[in-house]
């Protein structure tokens, strides 16, 4: 029996390895040519210390308290030279991927469909060759997609779930944007290169109510997350606010509506910032954020949108005096180059 271990590096790169049922993570990583930090490999020095964000494991007793003390254990810190997984795990590695002699994976996919949502966004789909394995990623992560004819790339979150062989992305139409211009004239069947997965913004193991806040095409990673949540039937309250600037920016609402049937306790609201909108809820996400969905702080908040929205939500929560148990966010600029997510508290 093997377990899949996601190694999430400090620079946002995530690599996946397979670990045998009786194998230590450090040994499994080395076997697959990823050199995790290590000096002694005997549980003495603490050099291989990482944090397990998800999954079950055993550490045994073959390490010194000087290398890993009780407080660190309580915070989920582990020694990879002693850690034996008992399930799939996600491990945060506190060094860049380059320090471990690895980096983003690269694969190719074939452009198979483009669906235009007026002038707001494009839903772009790719298919994988039979010989190409479905890319492993954590729901919420992104890839860098190469623009044919040059060395430029753009960063987009998966809207499809992990394991799917048909990959989808929700891409904002940017006037004069290089990717937008390419897609307007793209031919189906063209092959593009993708690097990833990347990003620290991804769904953690659900253990408390969830609040999802999406701005514009920041909806994309939440579609991936919701698909995974629906497949797991988590049984937790999930609330979502989806805010856009204009009426025509409000896309894929029917897909969110479908999740109200598939998830036992999922509700969502939409709002439009433009005052001339015909939408019944005008204003920003913060104008429609009911304090009740924050559960007094016993909530995990996931936030993806443009920088002004992310900053406004953070100020709003500060003003309410609420510190979420988990707060994960990702900003993106108009050309969709995505910055790293951050965990504010856990």
Domain map of the chain by residue range? 2-100, 105-198, 210-343
Instruction: Note whether 2-100 and 105-198 share their fold.
Output: no
CATH superfamily of 2-100: Beta-grasp domain (3.10.20.30)
From the list 160, 161, 186, 182, the residue with the least C-alpha distance to 173 is 182
Q: What are 53-105's pLDDT values in tens digits?
A: 999 999 988 899 889 999 999 999 999 999 999 999 999 999 999 999 999 99
Q: Give the pLDDT of residue 333.
A: 64
Q: Give the pLDDT of residue 62.
A: 87
Please give the CATH topology (third level) of the domain spanning 210-343. Answer: Rossmann fold (3.40.50)
Q: What are 217-239's pLDDT values in tens digits?
A: 999 999 999 999 999 888 899 99
Count Cβ atoms within 10 A of the Cβ of residue 149 and give its class: 0-12 exposed, 13-18 middle, 19 or more buried. exposed
Q: Report residue 10 as tokens.
A: 């400090």
Q: Give the pLDDT of residue 337.
A: 42
Q: Name residues of the chain where pLDDT drops below 50.
A: 336-346
Q: Give the pLDDT of residue 201.
A: 94
| CATH number assigned to the domain covering 105-198 | 2.40.30.10
Q: Give the pLDDT of residue 339.
A: 44
Q: Give the pLDDT of residue 332.
A: 72
Q: Give the pLDDT of residue 101.
A: 95
Model pTM above 0.85: yes
Q: Can the peptide bond before residue 20 be classed as cis, meaning omega within 30 degrees of 0? A: no
Give the bridge partners for 19, in sequence order.
Answer: 3
Q: Give the pLDDT of residue 151.
A: 86
Backbone φ and ψ of 74, nearest 5°: -65, -25
From the list 252, 196, 192, 251, the residue with the least C-alpha distance to 227 is 252
């Amino acid at each position: 029996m093997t377990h899949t271990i996601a190694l999430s590096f400090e620079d946002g790169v995530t690599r996946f390895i397979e670990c045998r049922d009786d194998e230590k993570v450090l040994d499994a990583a080395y076997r697959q040519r990823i050199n995790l930090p290590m000096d002694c490999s005997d549980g003495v020095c603490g050099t291989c210390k990482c944090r397990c964000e998800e999954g079950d494991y055993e550490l045994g007793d073959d390490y010194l308290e000087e290398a890993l003390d009780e407080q660190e254990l309580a915070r989920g810190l582990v020694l990879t030279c002693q850690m034996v997984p008992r399930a799939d795990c996600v491990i945060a590695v506190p060094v860049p991927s380059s320090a471990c002699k690895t980096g983003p994976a690269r694969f190719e996919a074939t452009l198979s469909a483009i669906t235009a949502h007026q002038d707001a966004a494009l839903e772009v789909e790719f298919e994988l060759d039979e010989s190409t394995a479905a890319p492993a990623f954590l729901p919420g992560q992104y890839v860098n997609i190469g623009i044919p004819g040059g060395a430029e790339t753009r960063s987009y979150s998966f809207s499809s779930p992990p394991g799917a062989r048909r990959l989808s992305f929700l891409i904002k139409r940017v006037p004069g944007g290089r990717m937008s211009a390419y897609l307007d004239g793209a031919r189906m069947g063209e092959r593009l290169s993708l690097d990833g997965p990347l990003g620290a913004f991804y769904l953690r193991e659900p253990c408390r109510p969830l609040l999802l806040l999406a701005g514009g095409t920041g909806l994309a990673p939440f579609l991936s997350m919701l698909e995974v949540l629906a497949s797991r039937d988590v049984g937790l309250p999930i609330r979502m606010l989806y805010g856009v600037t204009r009426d025509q920016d409000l896309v894929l609402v029917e897909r969110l509506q479908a999740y109200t049937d598939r998830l036992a306790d999922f509700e969502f609201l939409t709002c439009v910032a433009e005052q001339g909108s015909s939408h019944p809820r005008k204003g920003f996400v913060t104008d429609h954020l009911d304090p009740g969905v924050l559960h007094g702080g016993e909530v995990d908040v996931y936030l993806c949108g443009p920088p002004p929205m992310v900053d406004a939500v953070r100020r709003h929560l500060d003003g309410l005096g609420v510190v979420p148990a988990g707060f994960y966010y990702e900003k993106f600029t108009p050309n969709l180059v995505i910055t790293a997510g951050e965990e504010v508290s856990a």
